[in-house]
Chains A and B, each alone.
Chain A
Amino acid sequence: EVQLLESGGGLVQPGGSLRLSCAASGFTFSSYAMSWVRQAPGKGLEWVSSISTSGSNTYYADSVRGRFTISRDNSKNTLYLQMYSLRAEDTAVYYCAPRSPGANPFDYWGQGTLVTVSS
């Protein structure tokens, strides 16, 4: 059974930093590209960032480029999202989701971790 467990969310002040983690199990983590997708309270889904299977290629939404860094540790089956210079508009539930390499959808989703940026 595929399991994706996000952690690291919480309350942070504007301008602060936070690192999210996603522990994966139930599938061959190193064979899947991984992504972060977020959802602001009461809003729709927004893709944030993706990383290739090896970690050599990364992709970012314009809204987070230069502030967020995605990474992965295939030896630990874990995905990360380092977030800097957080803004109120970054407040959202952050989901991790695997994708088969190539043009493919998000096969599975974690339950998400809530990040709240507020003073």
Chain B
Amino acid sequence: EIVLTQSPATLSVSPGEGATLSCRASESVSSNLAWYQQKPGQAPRLLSSGASTRATGIPARFSGSGSGAEFTLTISSLQSEDFAVYYCQQYNKWPLTFGGGTKVEIK
């Protein structure tokens, strides 16, 4: 199975600052990678797919990039509502797999 490794596990950021989250795959997933945001007590929400296409209603401060086995989610100027856990997920090959998550917390 394809293993997705997210780093860092925790990121401490001040409101208004930017954040860069990494997702590395154990083999190429082409561009078949998605990012999700999950807040406490809530279901995950799709942020982007195809490595860089924002989902409907997602603010432009969220930006995905990468292809193959290296991917990045960049959040510019963090807002209070952005502090959450972020997961990457590959849908290139069965079984579908998720990364372990990156928690973005207030510094």
Determine which of A35, A50, A103, A108 lies in contact with B32 in the assembled complex, contact meaning CB atoms within 8 Å.
A103
A55 within 8 A of B: no
Given contacts A44-B101, A112-B43, contact A103 B92 (CB under 8 A): yes
Question: In the assembled complex, how far is the CB of residue A20 from the closest CB belonging to chain B, in whole angstroms?
Answer: 15
Q: Assuming the A-B contacts A59-B95, A61-B95, A105-B49, are A44 and B87 also in contact, with contact meaning beta carbons closer than 8 angstroms in the complex?
A: yes
Chain A interface size band reads 20 to 34
- Asked if A84 is an interface residue, CB under 8 A from chain B, the answer is no
CB contacts under 8 Å to A, within B88-107, are 89, 91-92, 94-101
Q: Are A62 and B95 in contact (CB under 8 A)?
A: yes
What's the count of A-B pairs with C-beta under 8 Å?
52
Do B34 and A109 touch (CB < 8 A)? Answer: no
Chain B interface category by residue count: 20 to 34
Question: Does B44 sit within 8 A of A, measured CB to CB?
Answer: yes
The secondary structure that dominates the A interface is: loop
Question: Which are the 10 A-B pairs with shortest beta-carbon distances?
Answer: A105-B34, A109-B43, A47-B96, A105-B49, A45-B98, A44-B101, A103-B32, A44-B100, A103-B91, A109-B44
Q: Chain B interface (Cβ within 8 Å of chain A)?
A: 32, 34, 36, 38, 42-46, 49, 55, 87, 89, 91-92, 94-101
Mark A residues whose CB is within 8 Å of B. Answer: 35, 44-47, 50, 59, 61-62, 95, 99, 103-112
